[in-house]
A and B are shown apart, each in its own frame.
Chain A
Amino acid sequence: MNDQTMTPEERAANLKGLGSSRKRVEDVRFTQGKGNYVDDIKLDGMLFGAFVRSPYAHARVVSVNKDAAMAVPGVVAVLTAEDLAPLGLHWMPTLAGDKQMVLADGKVLFQGQEVAYVVAENRYIAADAAELVEVDYEELPVLTDPFEALKSDVVLREDLAGQTEGAHGPRKHHNHIFTWEQGDKDATEAVLGEADVVAEEMVYYHRTHPCPLETCGCVASMDKVTGKLTLYGTFQAPHAIRTVVSLISGLAEHNIRVISPDIGGGFGNKVGAYAGYVCSVVASIVTGQPVKWVENRMENLMSTAFARDYWMQGKIAATKDGKITGLWCHTTADHGGFDACADPTKFPAGFMNICTGSYDIPTAYLAVDGVYTNKAPGGVAYRCSFRVTEAAYFIERMIEVLAIKLNMDAAELRRINFIRKDQFPYQSALGWEYDSGDYHTAWDKALKAVDYEGLRAEQAQRIEDFKAGKTRKLLGIGLTHFTEIVGAGPVKNCDILGLGMFDSCEIRIHPTGSAIARLGTISQGQGHATTFAQIIASEIGLPADDITLEEGDTDTAPYGLGTYGSRSTPVAGAATAMAARKIRAKAQMIAAYLLEVHDDDVEWDVDRFSVKGAPERFKTMKEIAFAAYNQAIPGLEPGLEAVSYYDPPNMTYPFGAYICVMEIDVDTGEWDVRQFYALDDCGTRINPMIIEGQVHGGVTEALAIAMGQEIAYDEMGNVKTGTLMDFFLPTAWETPNYTTDHTVTPSPHHPIGAKGVGESPNVGGVPAFSNAVHDAFRPFGLVQSHMPHDHWRIWKIANGLGMHG
């Protein structure tokens, strides 16, 4: 323990702290099938719930007849809105200031909407009985197009009739939700009017779905003796769920225990509150027995939170030399039947106002109109901070469109418009203060790594060959330089349902020098138990292997706002470092006492405090921990614990340069990603292996979204992509090889300089793939085409450009 022969570097390596590619401690159980997911929870007497869902996208519910279902042996209850109404639970508040039906109250607004909830002794009986609930519907006209919805006489939300004021200001039409404006409209329009060049385009980011491997579910267990409700669930924000359950159910918050067990991926899908949670809680209270609800894949895709569905009309102004002078964006946001976006309260369009991207754009204006349609509610941040991927896709398309208009190389156009290193902290025209960045260095490194000049030469040759009839394959080079905004966020401007978006960590050092840390976040695959232990290891000098991490139990963990929007490392990671520093501060006093010197006469040395000028006199953290519990130290309480609630002073702004090289068959629309280079700058790198894994996963999701994944509706509002046959999830076969790279520009305001990385690859990946498709066809006249770029849509581009002879 006191081995003086080890160098400080060797001692640091033993800690497996910051920068160590420590293997994921979670994987021992996950790779052996020993995870504990919601559906693994089995309680005595547990009942099962199943929903009756609407086959129609818009219909009046004339009647619901439960008789046949109730007659099935083993059926305990069938709940409808009428049963929930006396409790005031037939509607629930959404995270966006709207309200949403828990069970159909007189009408349905999207296909798959919950109409009745059948509770039975097992899931098989519940499924059979759900088939027997007779619902009489009267079909109503269906609105699936947000532009039509804003003109239509059809009133979707009759409950809001006559309300001209919504949660986010005036409503302009009965199907309108809000208008959100940022920036200077008049100045931007003036710039557009005077500009040498203005490029204008509609950029559509289609509706898709996070589709986590594990669907949503819960087990509600009301103990009528203690009056305590335990709610296990797939919650990305367990503490917020506890508060919401308390507020809407009237149960005292201390009588509610929310537990998020292992979660099989979230990607934003598991942030909000769903009808299944409310119905399960009610059913458990009514029956006195635990009630489990786990949705199936089709239910997940059809009814739980979707992502994107933004129609972004853009105008970008520049000088003839390519210096951007202004950006204008009007977004029509399709929110579905209820506004259930998961955004901080004051940001009804999330952080869409990061849409000036990596560029020094002096003047900008953004307006977003939210619209009701007959589609499922949601609008969650699918592996991105709130609406950041929409913003990044928008600006990275607009840059390409401007490059076409200017007849410029798109790499060079980016370079001359990047915010310079010396401009940070940078105040954007739409209101953000970018903390740090070095875009030119990252960009040059990326272009060099892929031999950008060589690729362009190869592309030029390919175009010649194509025109000469020697090949039917095109080469596309997709460029992206993205800037994210993550780590929501400062309590002064970020809250969800009034809960400030701080986060927390509590650390207890055990007498023998091991530790447990509990956080307000919850891992869904991110590897928190691995990486947060590394932060603590580096801060207090105990090996990461000796530190247990716990999250997700509201009875034991400190309050926090959960894991989404790449906020865990920027916020909870900061809380972890701050809590660890409190422990180190106390440890310093203990060490000084043990070494019989003044507090200021000891200094920190990797895993110990040593006497300044006499490094052979030291106390390791392990020795200090023991002393904290067995010695009476004057002026100090026993024990060694600390807690930190961290309110970040600012967001963090990770960035990256992604380049995709794609081969495209113009005859079939088939594509092949030949090369994908991803350079990420997420500030201080905690665990390079986990970062690489995050990038691989995120780029693969981006590939899915850009190249085929969508939630598509027909004109009747039927979901056309409700199974994994039609909803594209890439397998190993479709997934390309990736090259990862990095630069390191620490966040100046984060305790360890980390910025967050989990969502960067989705944010940067989507425009990189899409730009590759566009770039392949640019020489033949393509300006803009909408995602997803599946085979037939790519074929349609080629066909429209007359490339099929």
Chain B
Amino acid sequence: MIPAGFEYHRPGDIASAIGILQEHGDEARVIAGGHSLIPMMKLRMAEMGHLVDLQAIDELKGIEISAETVSLGAMVTQHELITHDGLAAAIPLIREAALQIADPQVRYVGTVGGNVANGDPGNDMPGLMQCLNATFELSGPDGTRSVAARDFYEAAYFTAREDEEILTRISIPVPGAGVGQAYEKQKRKIGDYATAAAAVMVGNGQASVAMTNLADTPVWSESASNALADGDVSGCVAAMLDAIDPVADNRGPVEFKKHVAAVMLRRAIERAQSRAG
């Protein structure tokens, strides 16, 4: 479990980091918490000549909360998401989901930016961000641009981010008062990816539902969300089952995953509804 050799870079600002990416092209990768990338490097499934560590870039840190928007720096750790009182008050769903990611040791180091940017279908935050209708800010040689979380994911490990871009911040609209939220996740054990997970917001005549690890991208379904907004739980579940496309793995066969997906979604809806209004 020893990775191939690489050059290590530790830039102090975003511009320098982009400069390194520009210089080395697809030979370079940024690393945040490293909990996805380092195992892949140790398995030699990811080999790169240059590793750009983002830990020293202060611009990528910090949680900012206003009445309308929550802004998360890409390097905010899961632990910070969990322990930030203002965030828990503004969007309790984030804390609830973050608590179900891995274990405390991982959460001290794992970042929200790394979690959403890597494009791993097993990660919890992408589905959550789609449910919350978050926007990702990307910085590259040509400046910054924003991409909606719902438009970001193309396939497993493939996203709208260009090689020379860095995901720098996440902004999330604060759900209105009375919106119930819930994150429901089935996993085999602590530290495991979801067998199936559901993020649900419902209330004030609106709803949003997204699911994790049931396709090669997170799945946010407009028709499922609309059905739930109309109070049609069965329609919501049916629409979501139509949208997901799970594959068999050690967690179980497709038939099982679809069944569990429906169970998780129903439970998340029930809990979110109980918190609404």
Contacts and interface: CB of A to CB of B under 8 A. Distances in A.
Contacts of B1: 296-298
Contacts of B111: none
B250 A712 contact: yes
A136 interface: no
A792 B256 contact: yes
A27 to B, nearest CB: 22
Given A297-B1, A726-B250, A791-B252, A131 B44 contact: yes
A295 to B, nearest CB: 10
A731 B260 contact: no
Interface in B120-149: none
Interface string A762-805: 00000000000000000000000000001110011001000010
Contact of A725 (B192, B259, B260): B192
Interface string B31-56: 00000000000001000000000000
B195 interface: yes
A720 B186 contact: no
Contact of B189 (A667, A733, A799): A733
Contacts of B2: 123-124, 127-128
B263 interface: yes
A668 interface: yes
The binding surface of chain B is classed by DSSP as loop
A730 interface: yes
B5 interface: yes
Interface string B234-277: 00000000000000001111001001100110000000000000
Contacts of A297: 1
B103 interface: yes
B5 A128 contact: yes
B259 A667 contact: yes
Interface string A633-666: 0000000000000000000000000000000000
Given A297-B1, A720-B250, A708 B263 contact: no
Given A128-B4, A128-B5, A734-B190, A795 B259 contact: yes
B233 to A, nearest CB: 16
B121 to A, nearest CB: 14
Interface string A121-154: 0011001100100000000000000000000000
A728 interface: yes
A804 B103 contact: no
A728 B256 contact: no
A670 interface: yes
A728 B188 contact: yes
Contacts of A804: 259
Interface residues of A, number: 30
Given A127-B2, A297-B1, A298-B1, A728 B189 contact: yes
B188 A668 contact: no
Contacts of A669: 256, 260
A734 B189 contact: yes
Nearest to B250: A726
B248 to A, nearest CB: 10
Contacts of B189: 708, 728, 730-731, 733-734
Nearest to A123: B2
B12 interface: no
A668 B260 contact: yes
Interface string A315-338: 000000000000000000000000
B19 interface: no
Given A131-B44, A795-B260, A731 B190 contact: yes
B176 interface: no
B205 to A, nearest CB: 30
Contacts of A296: 1
A417 interface: no
Interface in B1-39: 1-2, 4-5
Nearest to A724: B191
Contacts of A728: 188-189
Interface in B190-212: 190-193, 195
A708 B187 CA distance: 12
B147 to A, nearest CB: 30
A791 B252 CA distance: 8
Interface in A102-129: 123-124, 127-128
B250 A721 contact: yes
Nearest to B195: A791
Contact of B251 (A298, A712, A791): A791
Nearest to A721: B250
A791 B259 contact: no
A696 B191 CA distance: 22
Contacts of B4: 128, 131
Contacts of B256: 669, 791-792, 795-796
Nearest to A792: B252
Contacts of A667: 259-260, 263
A712 B249 CA distance: 11
B255 to A, nearest CB: 8
Contacts of B191: 725, 731
B35 to A, nearest CB: 12
B218 to A, nearest CB: 19
Interface in A708-742: 708, 712, 720-721, 725-726, 728, 730-731, 733-734
Contacts of B251: 791-792
B188 A791 contact: yes
B99 to A, nearest CB: 12
The residue in A298, A795, A804 that gathers the most chain B C-beta atoms within 10 A of its C-beta is A795
A296 B1 CA distance: 6
Contacts of B263: 667-668
Nearest to A708: B188
Contacts of A298: 1
A670 B260 CA distance: 10
B186 A792 contact: no
A124 B6 CA distance: 12
A726 B195 CA distance: 12
A473 to B, nearest CB: 13
A128 B259 CA distance: 44
B4 to A, nearest CB: 7
B188 A733 contact: no
B7 to A, nearest CB: 15
Nearest to B260: A668
A627 to B, nearest CB: 57
A721 B193 CA distance: 15
The residue in B2, B256, B263 that gathers the most chain A C-beta atoms within 10 A of its C-beta is B2
A145 B13 CA distance: 57
A731 B103 contact: yes
A795 B103 CA distance: 26
A123 B250 CA distance: 32
Contacts of B193: 725
Nearest to A127: B2
A499 to B, nearest CB: 36
B220 to A, nearest CB: 23
21 contacts: A128-B4, A128-B5, A131-B4, A298-B1, A667-B263, A668-B186, A668-B263, A669-B256, A670-B186, A708-B188, A730-B189, A731-B189, A790-B252, A791-B186, A791-B188, A791-B260, A792-B256, A795-B252, A795-B260, A796-B256, A799-B259
Given A712-B250, A791-B260, 15 more contacts: A128-B4, A298-B1, A667-B260, A668-B186, A708-B189, A721-B250, A725-B193, A731-B189, A731-B190, A733-B189, A734-B190, A792-B195, A792-B251, A792-B252, A792-B256
Interface of A: 123-124, 127-128, 131, 296-298, 667-670, 708, 712, 720-721, 725-726, 728, 730-731, 733-734, 790-792, 795-796, 799, 804
User: 8 closest Cβ contacts across the A-B interface?
Assistant: A792-B252, A127-B2, A296-B1, A733-B190, A792-B256, A726-B250, A731-B190, A667-B263
